[in-house]
A and B are shown apart, each in its own frame.
Chain A
């Protein structure tokens, strides 16, 4: 014969004071940032892809007679630069170069960083400590400074850019993935996998990785923007994609001397960068919101 002292069940849902989340509740709504971001980015990518269709000028073709034409001049919607090259064409082909390098350059830091983070988080102990120390040292260098120094030592060129960004950029992914792994390690599916006797690499890659990789993917969106900025900055400093390949950064630098009279030479490529960055930031936000909804 039991003598329960509590006569009432706790109320469901819980005490109203703490019941409701503080966000304004909107109900089912389209994921605006994701849609907007994807649309904008697809547009930009499409334009870059179809560059040959959208202009019949060669971006590296110089024509000194036609230098400094204003936007709207015959056949040059955005005018020409100091060497008579069509700005619109350079913008489009520059998009190809910059976007492809930015996206590709993110891949190896993503892969390498995630793997390192996975290992550090899963094994812990001295492996984690050592990796942690390495991370501490790498982040002690300002991102841009280290990239510039690396590109300088290895010699300017696209390969150097890829290598430099990989050497510096893996850190962020390692940290993100490591943090996720520390949490995931304690989850049931991880423990079950461990107990089942599967080889470690299998556990890591097949079971853990898919679950922890979401945050890394979200970050990679903003990382593409940061990488794009780095590439464009390198271009501005003369250390980027080697001329005469068009690049937004070099375009901005070339336009700087003529800023007062031909403001569009520097302004327009910059706007292109901002727009691309905006679209990717929206995508990143959209992914986060989608993940929160689940």
Chain B
């Protein structure tokens, strides 16, 4: 069945005074109806920009530089701007990292939730308000009738983020794009907000594309994962598969660098170096400079994202020349960790 969202070869760049920063370098992904997909990567990997490009909401100097976006199989990239905006915003919504700046400070939160039903969906004022109260309840806000009249600065971070989710729901989207929604929150509140998102997926069948640098967050909410590094997807697959048997050195190190109480990994891996300068053209694999297993081939040729062996019905992809040597890595990584500690 046709996936809800398909993205092919997305490119985003930022023209600077001295160079052009190629922030997203050919990202492709798929989200099915009702699916929760994660997009993981460190700061600067391009994941946030990729997300914003999907709604056409890139900040001023940043430019969409190529690729196609299909909604329900229909190519919306070539449509005239207004129409494209319409289709995209009808199908998708977005929530942001900082809930305080994402909300209009001089408008009551209830009115902000009710705005889309009122202006876009053509409901009457009382209907829109009722919808808003209902949504507030759905996202777990206690005493919604009273909270309706609050202003954003009067609410706590967790509440505000729930309001943002309610606003995202107000347009009846089929997919929610979430850009680091929990990064600014305490761990306990994080879990609550993720719980809301999970419940929405189960009860309302709203799909989700969750962007985060925090693997722990993504693993609580998503069933499938894309891993991004330096503007490209380097690995993808089901969460369980990725976590148990990663097939890219970067994913490997991501996993090992997260303290995981279940696995008692008491030694963590550090990786030297920094992500590459994306204003320079890159030769070879972008991770090669930091990869402990890089060979000359890695440095010379950029590996393409290929399908690799995975369980039936669970497509796996990886962009690495040495995918087949996964076992050797495990040993190599162990050795690396011994060496460091």
Which A residues contact B (CB, under 8 angstroms)?
1, 3-12, 14-17, 19-20, 22, 25-27
Check A22 against B60 for contact (C-beta < 8 Å). yes
A20 and B43 contacting across the interface, CB-CB below 8 Å: no
Chain A contact residues, majority secondary structure: loop
Most B CB atoms within 10 A — which of A6, A10, A16? A16
- Contact between chains at B16 and A25 (CB < 8 Å): yes
Residues of chain A with a CB closer than 8 A to B44's CB: 10-11, 14-16
Q: Which of A7, A15, A22, A25 contacts B17 (CB 8 A)?
A: A25
Q: B9-35: which have CB < 8 Å to A?
A: 14, 16-17, 21, 23
Q: Given A15-B48, A22-B60, A3 and B268 touching (CB < 8 A)? A: yes
Report the minimal beta-carbon distance from B7 to chain A, rounded to whole angstroms: 18
List 21 interface pairs A-B (beta carbons < 8 Å), by A numbering. Answer: A5-B258, A7-B254, A7-B257, A8-B257, A9-B273, A9-B274, A11-B42, A11-B274, A11-B275, A16-B14, A16-B23, A16-B44, A16-B48, A17-B52, A17-B59, A19-B14, A19-B21, A20-B16, A20-B61, A20-B62, A25-B61
Q: How many residues of B contact A (CB 8 A)?
A: 32
List residues of chain A with CB within 8 A of the CB of B59: 17, 22
Other-chain residue from A3, A6, A12, A17 in contact with B62 (beta carbon distance below 8 A) = A17
Please indicate the chain B residues that have their CB under 8 angstroms from the CB of A15 in the complex. 43-44, 48
Return the chain A residue nearest B59 by Cβ: A17
Q: Give the residue name and chain of the B residue nearest to A19 (CB).
A: B14
Given A17-B62, A20-B14: A6 touches B257 (CB 8 Å cut-off): yes
Question: How far apart are the CA atoms of A276 and B17 in the complex, in Å?
Answer: 35
Which of A1, A8, A17, A22 makes the CB contact (< 8 A) with B275? A8
CA distance A44 to B341 in the complex (A): 76
Chain B residues within 8 Å of A27, by CB: 17
Closest partner residue, chain A, to B180 (CB atom): A15
Contacts of B43 in A (CB 8 A): 10-11, 14-15
Q: Which residues of B have CB within 8 Å of A26?
A: 17
12 additional contacts, CB 8 Å, given A11-B43, A17-B52? A1-B341, A5-B258, A5-B259, A7-B253, A7-B271, A8-B42, A11-B275, A16-B23, A16-B62, A17-B59, A20-B16, A22-B59
Tell me how far the C-beta of A15 lies from the nearest C-beta in chain B, rounded to whole angstroms: 5
Of A4, A14, A16, A22, the contact of B270 (CB 8 Å cutoff)? A4
| B266 adjacent to chain A (CB < 8 Å) | yes
Task: Give the distance in Å from the alpha carbon of A45 to the alpha carbon of B269 in the complex.
Answer: 71
Q: Which 9 A-B pairs have the closest CB atoms?
A: A11-B44, A7-B257, A25-B17, A20-B61, A16-B23, A8-B42, A9-B274, A11-B43, A7-B271
Which B residues lie at the A interface, using CB under 8 A? 14, 16-17, 21, 23, 42-44, 46, 48-49, 52, 59-62, 253-254, 256-259, 266-271, 273-275, 341
Q: Which residue on B lies nearest to A4, using beta carbons?
A: B270
Contacts A11-B44, A17-B62 given; does A5 touch B16 at CB 8 Å? no
Point out the residues of chain B lying under 8 angstroms from A8, CB to CB: 42, 257, 271, 274-275
A88 CB to nearest chain B CB (Å): 48
Q: Please indicate the chain B residues that have their CB under 8 angstroms from the CB of A3 in the complex.
A: 266-268, 341
- State the CA gap A32–B61 with chains docked (Å): 24
Q: Which residue of chain B has the shortest Cβ distance to A9 in the bound complex?
A: B274
B17, B49, B258: the one contacting A16 at CB < 8 Å is B49
Contacts of A22 in B (CB 8 A): 59-61
Complex interface: chain B residues within 8 A of A16 (CB): 14, 21, 23, 44, 46, 48-49, 62
Contacts of A20 in B (CB 8 A): 14, 16, 61-62
User: What is the CA–CA distance of A283 and B273 in the complex, to the nearest angstrom?
Assistant: 48
Q: Which residue from A5, A9, A11 sits with its C-beta under 8 Å from B268?
A: A5
Chain A residues near B52: list those with CB within 8 A.
Answer: 17
Q: Closest Cβ of chain B: how far from A17's Cβ, in Å?
A: 6
Report the Cα distance A10→B43, complex, angstroms: 7
- B266 / chain A contacts, CB cutoff of 8 Å: 3
Residues on B with C-beta less than 8 A from A19 are 14, 21
